[in-house]
Structure 1
Amino acid sequence: MKQYALFLSLLILLFGSCTSLFQKGQNQFAGGEYQLAISTFSKVLEDDPDNKEANFYVAESYRLSNRIEKSQAYYEKLVEEEESFESYYRLGQSYKSQGKYEEAEKAFSKAKDLTLDDNFQRQLDLELNSLKSVEDIEDYFPYLEVENYSLLNTSGTDYSPVFSEGFIYFTSSRTGGGIYPATGVPYTKIYRARADGIKVDVQNVQEMPEFRNEDGLNQGAIAISPDGNTIVYARGNSRSNRDLPDVHLFASYFRGGGFTQPIWMPVNEDEFWFNSTPAFSPDGEVLYFTSNRDGGRGGLDLYKATKLANGDFGNAVNLGPQINTPGNEMFPYVAPDGKLFFASDGHPGFGKLDIFVAEQTEKGWEVKNLGPNVNTIADDFGIHFTKYPTEGFLSSNRAGGEGDDDIYYFEDKTPKPKIVNVLLNVTTKEKKDDGSEETLPQTRVVLYDQSNKNIGGDFSNQSGRLRFTLTPNQTFSLIASKTGYFTKTVNYSTVGKTPNPEDLIQDVTNIVLDTTIVLDPLILERSIVLDNIYYDLDKADIRPDAAQELDKLVQILKDNPSIRIELSSHTDARATDAYNDALSQRRAESAVAYIVSQGIDEDRLVAKGYGKRQLIIENAQTEEDHQVNRRTEFKVIELLD
C-alpha cells in the first residue's frame, strides 16, 4: 500500500511538472519568446518525441522567428499524426527553404488536396509554379560576383548597410544590450564606419553618433535621405508593456547643428501594425517601406508615402499586385533609373527571401529574380548600390557566412573586351608620265566612316606616309587631295582583316595594314585614256562593262567639282571619215548622257567625236593596234570658280 501511494505521488508530480512545463512554453510562445518556447518544448519532446502539441509549438516557433528551415522534423511529426492543410503547407515551405524542391512539390500538392479555400488554392498554385520555374531563372547581372565581407561581419547579426556621405550605416548585434527572446540572439543596434564605396574602414566601426541606440530594443533597417538631413529607421520588439507593441518607423532630423531625438512617424498610422525596412527615392520625395497594415495582399507588402508640406510623409499607397504577393515583400531600394529592387519570398525564387528587380513597362511593373549569382536558398535581402549598377552591398544568411545574417559586397566583373586596333599606314604617291609612281608628300588625306562622318584627317609627311587607327569590321572612305592633282576617293574595308575577339590572348592587339593612294596630275588639255570602254559593232549603246569604267570618271567628277571636261571618242582607221565621225560623236554623246544620269551637271561635260583624225598608231596592222586607236578619253578643259 505504501508503494502504491509512493507511485501515485510520483505520477501526480510528473503530470504536474509536464503541465507546468507546457504552460510555461505556451506563455512564452504567446509572448513571442520563440527561442525560449523552443527550449521549453524541446524538454517535453525529450521524454515524449511524438507529442503533437510540443512538435507544433517548436515548428511554429522556428517559423515565426524566420528559421523555418529548422522546422522540418517537427512538421513531419505533425503530418504523421494528422494530415492537415496547414501542416503540409508549412512542411512544403520548410523543404523549399532548404532547396528540397521535389519534397516541397509533394507537400504543397498534398496541402492543395486538403483545402477547398480559394485563397489557399491560389497561394499553393503560386508555390507550385514557383518551384517549376526555378531552373529557368537567369542572372540579371551576369557578371556580378558576391563576396562575404568577413572583416566587417561578426558571429552575430549584421545586415542592411546603406551608404551616405562617406559612411556606411548598418544594423548589427555585435554589442547589443540584452538577449532578444524571440531568436535568442542579442538585440541589434545601428553602427557606422567610414567607407569609400564598398571599401570599408573595418577597424573603426562605432555606434552611430547621430542619436543614441536604445537598449532592450531592436534597431532595424535604416534609410538616409539623399541630402543627409533625415534618418528613418525601424525600431521595436520591446518587452515592456509601456512601449509600442510592434516594429515602427522613427525619424530623426538635422536641426541646428545636430540630429533630433527620433520620433514616431505618423505614416505608421496604427500602433498594432508592423512597419519597417524604409528607403528613400533618389530625389527624397517618396518614402518606401514594408507593412502588414490592413488592405494588403497578405504577409508584408511594400508601400510608398509622399512627402508632405510639413516635411513628414503620408498618404501611404500599396504598390499593388504586380509587386506584392500573398508572401512577404521587404527591403526596397529605388535605383537612379527608377528600377525598384526588393526582397520577396512570394515571387518565384530559390527558397526564402530572394532579391528581385521591378522594371516599369507599358503593362506596369515587370518583376525579375536577380538570379543564382545573387540569390540562394537562404534569405537574401537588403541590396544597396554604392555605384549603380556595378557595385554595392547586400545581406544574406546563406551557408558559409561569419554569423547569422551577414553583409556581402558585390562587384560587376564583366570581362574587359579584347581591343583590336587596326593601324592603317597610308602612302601617298603621284603617277608620272612614264607610268611610274613617286612619293607625293604633304598630301591631305581625310577619313570618313561608313555613315560618311569625318573621323580624322592629316597631311602625309615628307616620305608620303601617315597613319589612321580604324575599327574592325567596318568600311571607310579616304579622300586624298593636293593642289595641282585630281582629288581621289579610295574605299577601304577592315572586314575580315582582324582575328576573332574570342581567339585573342592579349588585352590589346594591334593589326598593321597598308594602302597606297596614287594621284594623277591635273593639267589642262591633257588627255587621259579611259581603259576598257568598248562598244558593240556599229553601236553607241553603253554596255555594262563600259558603265563600270565610266563610273570611275563619275567619281572623279564628284571628287573634283571645279573641273569641266571634254569627253572624246575615237575610232580606228577603217571605214570612211564621215561614218567614223558620226559613230564617234554618237558614242561620246552616249557616254556623256550616262554620266549625267549619275548626277553630274551636263554643263560640266562636252561630248566630242574625233573619228579617225587623232590616231595613236598610224597604219595599224593588227587588231591590237586598232584597239589602241579605238579609245575614249577625257581632258580637263576648264577650272570652274
Structure 2
Amino acid sequence: MKNHFLWITFLLILSLNACKSIQEKANDQFLSGQYQYAINSYSQILEEDPDNPEANLAIAESYRLSNRIEKAGPYYEKLAEEDPSFETLYRLGLSLKAQEKPEEAKAAFEKAKGFTQEEEYLAETQRQIEAINLAKGIDNYFPNHVLVNYKDLNTPGADYAPVTSENFIYFTSGRQASGLYPADGTPYTKLFRTRAEGIRVDVGSIQSLPEFQNEEGLNQAAIAISPDGNTIIYARGNSTSPKDIPETALFASYFRGAGFTQPIWMPVNEDETWWNSTPAFSPDGSELYFASNRPGGYGGIDLYKATKLANGDFGNAVNLGPNVNTPGNEMFPRPAADGKFFFSSDGHPGYGKLDLFVAENDASGKQVIKNLGENFNSPNDDFGIFFTEYPKTGFISSNREGGVGDDDIYFFEDKTPKPKIVNVLLNVYTKQRVAGEPDAVLEQARVVLYDSANKQTGGDFSNTNGRVRFTLKPDADFTIIASKSGYFSKSIPYTTVGKTPRPEDLVQEVTNITLDTTIVLDQLILEKSIVLENIYYDLDKADIRPDAAKELDKLVQILKDNPSIRIELSSHTDDRSSDQYNQDLSQRRAQSAVDYIVSQGIDPSRLVAKGYGESQLIIKNAQTEEEHQVNRRTEFKVIEIRE
C-alpha cells in the first residue's frame, strides 16, 4: 500500500524513562534500516516492559520491512489488543495470512475495516479477503510437475535465483560471506557459478563468479544473462557505506573481446533512490524486465519492461499495468518464448507470501493471471522460476519449511506418467472363393491399410499362408483393401474400438493384442454371370425396395473397389405371364437397379441395364414357388475391363 502509513514516525520521538541508551540505539538501528539489530535491541526493552507499545510496534515493523511479516504477528496482536487501529489490524491480517491462518486473517481484515473510512484502504482490505477466498479453489497449472530440494547445491544460508547459460548455472548465495546484512542478520550474498547440463548441476565445482569480482560488504543478487551470453545484469545494493548509492540498483557488465567489463550503474535505474532488482531478458534479448518501486506504480513493487536502445542500453521503462501489478509486490519476471509471462507476487490470490504466477491469454485473447498451484507454491516465499527445458524442467527458489537453509534452490521435472502402450497386431488373411469348396488361400494379394482420414498407413503382399500383418492404433477405424490381378478388388471396414483393454486395466508398459480378419476375393471372369441374392420386387412393380437397396449397395461397393470394370446388370422373371410382359417388366426392373446404382455415385457409362424376361430360365417347367423364385433373379457380369 505504498508508504501511506505514517504512524511509524512515532519512533522518531520515542522516549522511555528506563533503558534510555538502549532506546536511542534501537531507534538509530531502525531508522538506518538495520532491522535485525533493532529487533535485538527492542527485545531487551520488552524483557523489562512486555506491554511497551513503541517497542512492540518497532519489532513488528522491523520484521515486516525485512520480509518476515509472519514473525510480526504476536507484536501486531499485542498492539491491536491495547489500542486497535486500522494499521495494526490490517498488518496483523497480513501476518496471519503469511502464517497460513486464513480464517483468523479474514477476521482481522474485517475488523480493520471498522477503523477507517478511506476508500483506498477499504478496497485493499476487501481485496485481501477476496484473495483468501479465491485461494481455496486454485488448480495446479502444471499438475504433473514435481518439485525437489536441490540439497547438494544449497547451504544453511541463502541460495536462490538460478539461471543457466552456455552449460553453466549462475545463482545467488550467502556462502563465503564476509559479513552480515544488518537488515535481517543474514550473510551478504554473492554471485556464483558452476557447470550444469539442464537441471543436473556439478555441485563439486562451484566458484565465485569469474566474469568480474564480487564486492564485499553488500548484496549482489538476481543475475540475468542475455541470450547471446554477452551481457550480464544483476542487482547490487544494501551497502552500509555512506559513499555508496543509497538503494538497490541494476548493474551491467559487457563482454568486450578479452573478457567482461567492470559492472556499471544502468541508466534504466533512473534515480538512485529507487529500488530496482530481479532482472530478466526477453527470449530474443531485445527487452529487459525488472522490478521497481519507482513512483507511479500500482503497489509497493511493480514489474516494468524496458526496450534495448541503439547504443545497447535499455530505456523507456513501461509499467506492465494493473492486470499483472497489484497493490502488493510483483517480482522475478520470466517471459517465455510462447508469450506466457511468469512472475512472483504477494498481491494476487495465493497461499501466503510470494507465489509463482503465469499471465497468459485465454481463448478470447484476454490476459488472465493464474497461480501455479500448490505443487509449486507454499505459505512462504516462492519465486525466481527459470526453465531449462520449457516447460518441462527448471528451477525455482523458496524459503518454505523443510529446506536446507534460508532461501533454497529447488528443481522441478514433469513427471507426467508415460501412457501404457497397446499395439494391435492385425493378421489379415486373403482367400479366394472356389465354387462348391471351402475358401482357399490366396497368395501374393496386395493388401493396403487406410486410416479414417483415408491416408495409407500400411501395405504388403500376402505370404504363402495368405497372411499380411499390420500394427494398428487402438480405438480407431480403418479400411482394408485387397486386390490381385484376375480377382475383384474388395474393401472392408475394420475397427479396433472396443477390442482392447481399458487403460485402467493395463498392467504392463507395452501390451500386444493380436486380432485376425479374412478377406475373400472372387475371380473376375468376363461374361460370367453372378447372381445378386435377395433382390426382390413387389408384384408387377419395378421400384427398388429398401431390402433390395441394401443388396445393391454391395454391388455399388464392388464397382467403387474396381473402377476399371464395366458391367451388365440383368433382370430375369419366371414364365407365369406372357413373354412380352415379362420382357418389359424385367427391363424396367434392370433399369431401376441401374438408376439406383447411378444415384450412389457410379458413372452411368459403366452400367448397362438388360432385361431378359423368361428367356434364360434356370429351372424350366418350374412347379413350386421356390423353383419360380430361382428363375426370378438379378445378375451382373463384367463385360469390359478398361485399362
TM-score normalized by the length of structure 1: 0.97
Pick the aligned partner of 1:419 from 418, 421, 431: 421
Query: Do structure 1's residue 444 and structure 2's residue 455 form an aligned pair?
Result: no
Aligned residue in 1 for 2:103: 102
> How many angstroms apart in 2 are the aligned matches of 1:230 and 1:165?
13
After the TM superposition, which of the residue ranges 383-392 and 575-584 deviates more from structure 2? Answer: 575-584
Task: Kindly indicate whether the alpha-carbon contact (under 8 Å) linking 1:297 and 1:325 is maintained by their aligned counterparts in 2.
Answer: yes
CA distance in 2, matches of 1:370, 1:591: 66
In the alignment, what sits opposite 2:5?
Answer: none
Q: Whole-Å Cα distance in 1 between the matches of residues 283 and 308 of structure 2?
A: 13
- For residue 151 of structure 2, give the secondary structure of its aligned residue in structure 1: coil
Aligned pairs (5 A) from 1:109-128: 109-128=110-129
SS of residue matched to 1:126: helix
The corresponding residue for 2:268 is 267
* 1:166-220: CA deviation from partner (whole Å, max 9, x where unpaired): 0110000011121111111110001111111001111111111000000001001
User: Conserved in 2, the CA contact under 8 Å of 1:323 and 1:365?
Assistant: no
1:20 alignment partner in structure 2: 21
Give a deviation string over 1:603-637, Cα, whole Å, max 9, x none: 11111111122122223232222212111100001
TM superposition shift of 1:281: 0.3
Q: What's 1:508 paired with?
A: 510
**Structure 1 segment 187-266 matched on structure 2, within 5 A:** 187-266=188-267
User: What is the match of residue 580 of structure 2?
Assistant: 578
SS at structure 1 position matched to 2:19: helix
User: Structure 1 stretch 264-273 or stretch 578-587: which is displaced more?
Assistant: 578-587
Deviates more, 1:432-441 or 1:47-56: 432-441
The 2-side partners of 1:456 and 1:578 are apart by 54
Misfit runs of 4+, over 6 Å: none
Tell me, yes or no, if the aligned pair for 1:221 and 1:234 is still in contact at 8 Å: yes
State the SS of the aligned residue for 1:161. strand
1:468 matched to 2:473: no
Distance 1:581 1:507 in 2: 68
User: 2:169 matched to which residue of 1?
Assistant: 168
Aligned-partner Cα distance in 2 for 1:509–1:110: 62
Amino acid at match of 1:574: R
Per the TM alignment, residue 39 of structure 1 is displaced from its structure 2 partner at its CA by 0.3
Equivalence for 2:456: 454
Q: Deviations over 1:445-470 (max 9, x none)?
A: 11111121122211111211111111
**Structure 2 Cα separation of the partners of residues 214 and 622 of structure 1:** 114
The separation in 2 between residues aligned to 1:534 and 1:257, in whole angstroms, is 95
Cα deviation, residue 365, structure 1: 2.3
Instruction: For residue 107 of structure 1, report the CA deviation from its aligned partner.
Output: 0.5
Question: Could you tell me whether the CA contact under 8 Å between 2:250 and 2:265 is conserved in 1?
Answer: yes
Deviation at 1:509, TM superposition (A): 1.3
Counterpart CA distance in 2 for 1:257 and 1:284 is 22
Q: Does the 8 A contact of 2:146 with 2:412 survive in 1?
A: yes
Deviation at 1:33, TM superposition (A): 0.3
Shift of residue 15, structure 1, vs aligned partner: 6.9
Please state how far the C-alpha of 1:83 moved relative to its aligned partner: 0.6
| 2:559 matched residue in structure 1 | 557
User: C-alpha separation between the residues in 2 aligned to 1:15 and 1:312?
Assistant: 52
The one-letter amino acid of 2:571's match is S
Match in the other structure for 2:637: 635
Corresponding position of 1:38: 39
Q: 1:397 aligns with which of 396, 399, 415?
A: 399
When residues 121 and 171 of structure 1 are mapped into structure 2, their CA distance, relative to the original with a 3 A threshold, is: same
2:556 is paired with a residue whose SS is helix
CA deviations on 1:539-571 (whole Å, 9 max, x unpaired) are: 111000000110111111111111111101111
Query: What residue is the counterpart of 1:286 in the other structure?
Result: 287
Matched, 1:74 2:58: no
Aligned counterparts of 1:116 and 1:562: Cα–Cα separation in 2: 90
Amino acid at match of 1:168: I
User: Which residue of 362, 385, 389 corresponds with 1:387?
Assistant: 389
Please state how far the C-alpha of 1:359 moved relative to its aligned partner: 0.6
Corresponding residue of 1:598: 600
For residues 436 and 443 of structure 1, the distance between their equivalents in structure 2, rounded to whole angstroms, comes to 18
Residue deviations 1:579-598 (CA, integer Å, cap 9, x gap): 22121111111111111111
Q: TM-score scaled by structure 2?
A: 0.96
Greater displacement, 501-510 / 382-391: 501-510
Which one-letter code corresponds to 1:367 in the other structure?
Answer: I
Task: Tell me, yes or no, if structure 1 residue 482 matches structure 2 residue 476.
Answer: no
Q: Which residue of 1 aligns with 2:134?
A: 133
User: Matched residues in 2 for 1:17 and 1:83: separation?
Assistant: 25
Q: How does 1:538-553 map onto structure 2 within 5 Å?
A: 538-553=540-555
Task: Render the CA deviation track for 1:368-397: whole Å, top value 9, x for unaligned.
Answer: 000111101000000000000011000000
Q: Residue 341 of structure 1 aligns with which residue?
A: 342
- Structure 2 vs 1, CA of residues 390 and 130 (structure 1 numbering), >3 Å: closer, same or farther? same
Moved more, 406-415 or 564-573: 564-573
Displacement of 1:16: 6.3
Equivalent position of 1:366 in the other structure: 368
Structure 1 residue 576, shift from structure 2 partner: 2.2
The alpha-carbon distance between structure 1 residues 363 and 426, as it changes in their structure 2 partners (threshold 3 A), is: closer
Task: Tell me the percent identity.
Answer: 68
Does the CA contact (< 8 Å) of 2:16 and 2:23 recur in 1? no
| Structure-2 residue corresponding to 1:3 | none
Amino acid at match of 2:402: G
Structure 1 Cα separation of the partners of residues 113 and 419 of structure 2: 51
**Aligned AA (2:276):** N
1:327 corresponds in structure 2 to 328
AA partner of residue 548 (structure 2)? A
CA distance in 2, matches of 1:271, 1:294: 13
In structure 1, the gaps of 5 or more residues are 1-13
Q: Structure 1 residue 575: deviation in Å? A: 2.1
**What aligned pairs does 1:427-438 form with structure 2 within 5 A after superposition?**
427-438=429-440
Output the CA distance in 2 between the equivalents of 1:33 and 1:329.
24
Name the counterpart of 1:523.
Answer: 525
2: distance between equivalents of 1:56 and 1:301? 27
| Matched-pair contact (CA < 8 Å) for 1:428–1:464 | yes
Deviations 1:7-62 (A, max 9, x none): xxxxxxx9766111111101000000000000000000011110000000111111
Distance 1:567 1:435, change over 3 A: farther
Count of aligned pairs: 628
Where does residue 10 of structure 1 map in the other structure?
Answer: none
Q: Secondary structure of the residue that 2:417 maps to in structure 1?
A: coil
CA separation of 1:85 and 1:143: change in aligned 2, threshold 3 A: same
Contact 1:189/1:220 (<8 A) preserved: yes
Aligned to 2:443, what secondary structure does the other structure show? coil
Mean Cα deviation higher: 102-111 or 612-621 = 612-621
Amino acid at match of 1:45: L
1:268-306: CA deviations, max 9, x gaps?
Answer: 000000000000000000000000001100100000000
Matched residue, 1:618:
620
Contact map agreement 2:283 2:336 (CA 8 A) in 1: yes
- Match in the other structure for 1:151: 152
- Read off the aligned partner of 2:134 and give its amino acid letter: S
2:319 aligns with 318
Residue 412 of structure 2 aligns with an amino acid whose one-letter code is F
**Which secondary structure state, in structure 2, belongs to the residue aligned with residue 377 of structure 1?**
coil
Structure 2 unmatched ranges of 5 or more: 1-14
> Match of 1:378?
380
